[in-house]
Amino acid sequence: MSAKVTIAEVAKRAGVSTMTVSRVLNNTGPVKKETAERIRAIIAELNYQPNLVARSLSSKRSMMIGIIINRVKKVFFDNYIGQIGSGITDIVQERGYRVMFFPVETDREKTSAYLDIVRSHVIDGLIILRSKTDNPHIQMLADNEVPFMLVNHKKYKKNYNFIDTENIEGTKTAMRHLYTNGHRKIAFFAGSMDETNSIDRLKAYHTAVKELRLVVNEEWVRYAEFDKQKAFEEAGKLLQCTNRPTAILASDDYMAIGAMERLQKEGLRVPQDMAVIGFDDVELASYVKPSLTTIRQPLTELGRVAAENLLNMIAGTQKSPVHKFLKLELVKRNSG
Amino acid sequence: MSAKVTIAEVAKRAGVSTMTVSRVLNNTGPVKKETAERIRAIIAELNYQPNLVARSLSSKRSMMIGIIINRVKKVFFDNYIGQIGSGITDIVQERGYRVMFFPVETDREKTSAYLDIVRSHVIDGLIILRSKTDNPHIQMLADNEVPFMLVNHKKYKKNYNFIDTENIEGTKTAMRHLYTNGHRKIAFFAGSMDETNSIDRLKAYHTAVKELRLVVNEEWVRYAEFDKQKAFEEAGKLLQCTNRPTAILASDDYMAIGAMERLQKEGLRVPQDMAVIGFDDVELASYVKPSLTTIRQPLTELGRVAAENLLNMIAGTQKSPVHKFLKLELVKRNSG
DNA sequence: TTGAAAGCGCTAACAT
DNA sequence: ATGTTAGCGCTTTCAA
């Protein structure tokens, strides 16, 4: 890499110490106007750029925010992440930070996984999307007092910060909607049971079943791990039940869509023969036929709020713990 | 951040110098077996993790690969990026590197934009998706001898490396397909004209028009900048033409879908009244109604090849320039 | 308003 | 097989 200009070089040419240059660079401490201008001119002339790594090592801050994405699916950047990531990025950049997205494989062995990038000050704070409940890294982050925010995850611990949605209420809303439409036998497609969202939604399903005095059938609860293909398969099994439900509520849109595909493949009409409702409102939801009725999560907003709180915690203007919930909204379309 | 264990601490406890610990850490140079084991035990006991930033500063490598995503759309992580990113990530992790995704705003002012992260050794190499032709940063990377690969971009310069697809052939294939289906009046929706892909596809459209001796009409070429909404609007204008085409070839799927939505909104049937063909084969393409016929780009493979070549260049086993093209494939569905 | 010294935590290069 | 020295490029701290 040619022509590496360092702060020392700039200082030398300006006839000042590196500290003065540093002050100009960071707007820290007083510098005489003319000196500052001279230095700025030289910086421009030499096209000098501070070495971020050296700066991080020395100052222990990087002005970077990391976004951890649990890489479970093959194509992990889906519209769910796209919407949340967009919200985060907006806020973070507004406040002069940069964002970096880290896909990480969920191996429970490498305990270091992403503690090291924070400890090393590669990034100043972390936003973690849809963490697993048994993720050991989170506790390490907390123990190390690393600023972090969990998105779409819930854990009431005083050094855990999260922003989640009102899953219980949302699930009930969906159930009541189906009930109103005449459904009394409702199946539920659960996501990964190691995510609090899944757990909450499943629990709420059971509660709603009781509250609405619905028929209960264990076979109607299918586990598909937020995976479209798995939902496709589980829907097949569901159709084998002697006592067939008339509606499906799925824990996310991708599962709803997978299930719907299977139903249609087997010749059923949606929603006439079986209604289907999803969760999230990803881009695909409005494109499938019939378009998907779903419980909309305000994903972009989720990202924005997470970013705001994280940055405030880093700045020290917000104290831990942050435990927030955003509202959900039923989006009525044509699938149920 | 509590209990910061450094290499010095490990060395002290092991009764050796930091260099010996460093050697154990990096498998560099010889260390007596027992010493190594003792050191490893202490590392485990103290839960020591090397400081990545200090390591980067000293060694000038970070074992990280950056992926630059031009942030033009609001939700920038779409399925196009998802597929490419997935391919990249697979290869990069296989080879012991990590990946980080950087969304960057396309402001031409900040010339530093992403040169600084490489110069600073935050990352060892860069993959850039769909760069603009007038992107000044690329030349800076080249001038600074930064290892980089452009994906879905073409530029024959000896210090530019790219992996692209055979856009010309692909476009012609699509045109011939429409021709075979009886179409003689074919419209074209061009993407952003500051991307080589768009330029190539538009050029190929014109060539095909000539080769197939088709009717020519300037109004049939619409510019929609890879934007679904813009395509929606342009399709409206297209319908105003006195001499209306019978088919649309779009430079990417999102535009094709936007156009299709408008046609359907105006009461036209696709493909009977107007055929529509896209480019890419993103996830949405198979979900829209009618499902989208498209020229499939091997997106995941594109990512894999980009990553392989980049890592080889970093390792010194691959020389610049790398100029590669992957084949395209017509995916026949129901829209044309 | 400016500078000098020290050090962030690690590894390269050269000893031994 | 191991250690010493120096330094990566910056900022912190203290002094002037």
Q: Which helix (H) or strand (E) holds B164?
A: strand B162-165
Nearest one of A165, A156, A100, A164 to A126, comparing CA atoms: A100
> Which nucleotide lies at the shortest CA–C1' distance from A58?
C8
What angle, 0 to 180 degrees and rounded to 10, lies between the N-to-C axes of helices B18-26 and B7-14?
110
B29 touches strand D (CB under 7 A): yes
Report CB contact under 8 Å: A75, B86. yes
Q: pLDDT tens across A61-91, in order?
A: 999 999 999 888 888 889 999 999 999 999 9
B52 min Cα distance to partner chain A (Å): 5
Put simply, the answer to whether A112 touches B49 (Cβ < 8 Å) is yes
pLDDT tens per residue across span B195-214: 999 999 999 999 999 999 99
- In the structure, what pLDDT confidence band is assigned to residue B110 with cuts at 50, 70 and 90? low
Question: Three-class SS of residue A98?
Answer: strand
A125 — phi, psi (to 5°)? -165, 170
A195 CA, C6 C1': Å apart: 48
| Closest chain A CA to residue B1 | A144
Length of chain B: 336
Contact list in A for residue B253 (CB cut-off 8 A) is none
Query: What is the pLDDT of chain B when averaged over all its residues?
Result: 94
pLDDT in tens, B148-184: 999 999 999 999 999 999 999 999 999 999 999 999 9
| Strand A186-190 to A221-223 pairing | parallel
Q: What percent of chain A has pLDDT over 90?
A: 87
DSSP state of A151: E
| DSSP letters spanning A267-300 | T--TTTT-EEEEEE--GGGGTSSSPPEEEE--HH
Main-chain phi, psi angles of A282, to 5 degrees: -85, 170
- Per-residue model confidence as pLDDT tens digits over A101-142: 999 887 655 656 788 899 999 999 999 999 999 888 899 899
Q: How confident is the model at residue A207 (pLDDT cuts 50, 70, 90)?
A: very high
pLDDT band at A216 (very low <50, low <70, confident <90, very high): confident
pLDDT in tens, A152-182: 999 999 999 999 999 999 999 999 999 999 9
Q: Model confidence over B212-246: pLDDT tens digits?
A: 999 989 999 999 999 999 999 999 999 999 999 99
pLDDT of residue A2: 45
Are the CB atoms for A31 and A23 separated by under 8 Å?
yes
Cβ contacts of B120 on chain A, cutoff 8 Å: 49-54
Residue A27's Cβ-count burial label (10 Å; 0-12, 13-18, 19+) is: exposed
How many Å apart are CA A204 and CA A312, to the nearest integer?
Answer: 33
Give the bridge partners for A104, in sequence order.
A70
| Closest CB to A1 among B93, B98, B119 | B119
The model's pLDDT over A281-299, given as tens digits with 9 standing for 90+, comes to 999 999 999 999 999 999 9
How do beta strands B98-104 and A329-331 pair? unpaired
**Residues in a beta bridge with A101:** A67, B101
Q: Using pLDDT thresholds of 50, 70 and 90, give the confidence band for residue B1.
A: very low
Query: Which of A3, A82, A118 comes nearest B77 by C-beta?
Result: A82
Q: How many CB atoms lie within 10 A of CB A309?
A: 22
Of B1, B105, B144, the CB nearest to A1: B144
Predicted confidence at residue A110, as pLDDT, reads 60
Closest residue, CA to C1' of C13: B19
Helix (H) or strand (E) holding A85, with range, is: helix A79-94
The protein residue nearest nucleotide C3, judged by CA to C1', is A17
Query: Considering chain A, what is the average pLDDT of its residues?
Result: 94
**Distance, first Cα to last Cα, chain B:** 60
CA atoms of B155 and B157, how far apart (whole Å): 6
Say which residue the tokens 């002050």 belong to. Answer: A23
Asked whether the beta carbons of A11 and A18 are under 8 A apart, the reply is yes
CA A42 → C1' C2, Å?
18
- Supply the pLDDT for residue B70: 86
Q: Say yes or no for a CB contact (<8 Å) between A82 and B83.
A: no
Residues of A within 8 A of B71 (CB-CB) are 89
Distance of CA A98 to the CA centre of its chain: 17
Cα–Cα dist B187/B275, whole Å: 10
A75-89, A94-108, B241-255, B280-294: the lowest-pLDDT one: A94-108
Find the Å distance, CA of residue A51 to C1' of nucleotide C1.
Answer: 25
Residue B66, min C-alpha distance to chain A (Å): 9
Beta-strand pair A293-296/A329-331:
antiparallel
Q: pLDDT: is B76 or A32 the higher one?
A: A32
Q: Which residue is nearest to nucleotide D2 (CA to C1')?
A: B20
Predicted local distance difference test score (pLDDT) of residue A105? 82
Which one, of B129, B120, B71, lies nearest residue A99 by Cα?
Answer: B71
Tell me the chain A residues in contact with residue B119 when contact means C-beta distances shorter than 8 Å. 1, 4, 49, 51
Interface contact A119-B51, CB threshold 8 A: yes
pLDDT in tens, B19-61: 999 999 999 989 999 999 999 999 999 999 999 999 999 999 9
- Alpha carbon A164 to chain centroid distance? 9
Q: Which residues of A touch B289 (CB under 8 A)?
A: 289
Question: How much is the pTM?
Answer: 0.94
pLDDT over 50 at B2, yes or no: no
Can you give the pLDDT at residue B112?
A: 62
Q: What is the pLDDT of residue A29?
A: 82
Of B74-78, B123-127, B284-288, least confident by mean pLDDT is B74-78
Query: Which residues of chain A lie closer than 8 angstroms to B146, CB-CB?
Result: 1
Q: Do B56 and A53 touch (CB under 8 A)?
A: yes
Burial class (CB in 10 A: 0-12, 13-18, 19+), A40: middle
pLDDT recorded at residue B216: 86
SS3 B330: strand
Q: What are phi and psi of B188, to 5 degrees?
A: -135, 130
Rounded distance between C-alpha atoms, residue B203 and residue B188, angstroms:
11
Nearest nt to the A4 alpha carbon by C1': D9
Instruction: Name all domains of chain B by residue range, CATH numbers in brackets.
Output: 7-49 (1.10.260.40), 64-165+299-326 (3.40.50.2300), 167-296 (3.40.50.2300)
Q: For residue B179, what pLDDT is reported? A: 98
Q: Do B122 and A121 touch (CB under 8 A)?
A: no
Q: Please tell me whether residue B72 adopts helix, strand or coil conformation.
A: coil
Q: What percentage of chain B reaches a pLDDT higher than 70? A: 97
Q: Which of A116, A89, A163, A192 shows the shortest CA–CA distance to A323? A: A163
CB B187 within 8 A of CB B238: yes
Q: How many CB pairs under 8 A join A and B?
A: 147
- Out of A114-128, A202-216, B70-84, B293-307, pick the least confident: B70-84
Cis peptide before B321 (omega within 30 of 0): yes
Specify the pLDDT at position B316.
92
**Mean pLDDT, rounded, for A274-280:** 98
Query: Are A152 and A226 contacting, i.e. CB atoms less than 8 angstroms apart?
Result: no
- Report CB contact under 8 Å: B105, A117: no
pLDDT class of B73 with cuts at 50, 70, 90: confident
Residues 6+ apart with CB under 8 A from B177: B277, B293, B330, B332, B336
Give per-residue pLDDT as tens, A238-255: 999 999 999 999 999 999
Question: Is-contact B330 B174, C-beta < 8 A?
Answer: yes
Query: Can you give the distance from the CA of residue A316 to the C1' of nucleotide C10 in angstroms?
Result: 30
Q: Which residue is nearest to nucleotide D3 (CA to C1')?
A: B17
Output the pLDDT for position B113.
74
pLDDT score of A3: 60
Tell if the CB–CB gap between A1 and B49 is shorter than 8 Å.
no
